[in-house]
Every structure is written in C-alpha cells, then in structure tokens.
C-alpha cells in the first residue's frame, strides 16, 4: 500500500492560466475527496467521488473548478483562468467506503501559487 499520492507537489502559474492536479488514491479505496487549505486554516471541502460518480460539490467550488475521476481510480482537479485567490494547498484524500470506515487518508498536497 503506497498511500495517497499527488502530482505535482508544487505549481507556480500566472494569473489567467489553467492548471491541472492529479491524485492517486490508496488502491481499492472507492471514495476520493478534494480539499483546499490556506495557510493557518483547516481544510475546506471541495468535492467528493464515490467510484467515478461525483456525489457532492461544495458551493465554494466556482465554475472555474472541475474535477473528474473517469475510471474510478485516479482523479484530476482543474482550475481554469486562475486567480490570485486560488493560491492554496490542494489536498486529496481517500477512504475505503466500508461501513463505518469514515477515516480519510491524505496525500502530501499540491501547493499552488498564482502570481
């Protein structure tokens, strides 16, 4: 079990550019989550997948954000027309989906800096 991985670990982009992040969950975990964390704060929920279905999406997630999990394995989070306010750590987590197993396991995050 290699844990949750995220790529890239760091991304610097200019305002207005599009960026895409990838998350590979723990194998056989059917639930995958994206969170955003700004410095000194707790994470904020963005979206959640069960297998390939996106079941929940935060109102924080503007139309510029889109997430996919096409085959129920890895997921991508795309931000279009980035803004300086998008600068944050983007965290991915996964959980098994077994009854009562609500603990989520996190990846190292992707730190986005928009200049």
Partner 1 sequence: AQTVTQSQPEMSVQEAETVTLSCTYDTSESDYYLFWYKQPPSRQMILVIRQEAYKQQNATENRFSVNFQKAAKSFSLKISDSQLGDAAMYFCAYTEDSNYQLIWGAGTKLIIKP
Q: How far is CA 68 from the centre of its chain?
A: 10
Return d(Cα 18, Cα 15) in angstroms, integer: 9
Q: How far is the CB of 36 from partner 1 (least distance, A)?
A: 11
41 lies in the binding site for partner 1 (CB under 8 A): yes
Among 13, 45, 68, 76, binds partner 1 (CB under 8 A): 45
Which residues does residue 93 pair with via DSSP β-bridges, in sequence order?
33, 106
Tell me which residue of 22, 53, 35, 1 sits closest to 104, measured CA to CA: 35
Q: Of these, 91, 94, 112, 114, which contacts partner 1 (CB under 8 A)?
A: 91
Nearer to partner 1, 21 or 35 (CB): 35
Q: By CB under 8 A, tell whether 56 contacts partner 1.
A: yes
> Within 10 Å of residue 93's Cβ, how many Cβ atoms?
22
Tokens in use for 11? 């991304």
Closest to partner 1 by CB, 21 or 48: 48
**Site for partner 1 contains 115 (CB under 8 A):** no
Provide the pairing of β-strand 10-13 with 110-114. parallel
Residues that bind partner 1 (CB under 8 A): 31, 33, 35, 40-45, 48, 56, 58, 91, 93, 95, 100, 102-109
């Amino acid at each position: 079990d290699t844990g949750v991985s995220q790529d890239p670990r760091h991304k610097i982009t200019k305002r207005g550019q599009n960026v895409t992040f990838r998350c590979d969950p723990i194998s056989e975990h059917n639930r995958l989550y994206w969170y955003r964390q700004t410095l000194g704060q707790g994470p904020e929920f963005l979206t959640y997948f069960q297998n390939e279905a996106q079941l929940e999406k935060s109102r924080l997630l503007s139309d510029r954000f889109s997430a996919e999990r096409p085959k129920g394995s890895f997921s991508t989070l795309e931000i279009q027309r980035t803004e300086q306010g998008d600068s944050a750590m983007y965290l991915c987590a996964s959980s098994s989906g077994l009854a009562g197993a609500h603990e989520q396991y996190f990846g190292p995050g992707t730190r986005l800096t928009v200049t």
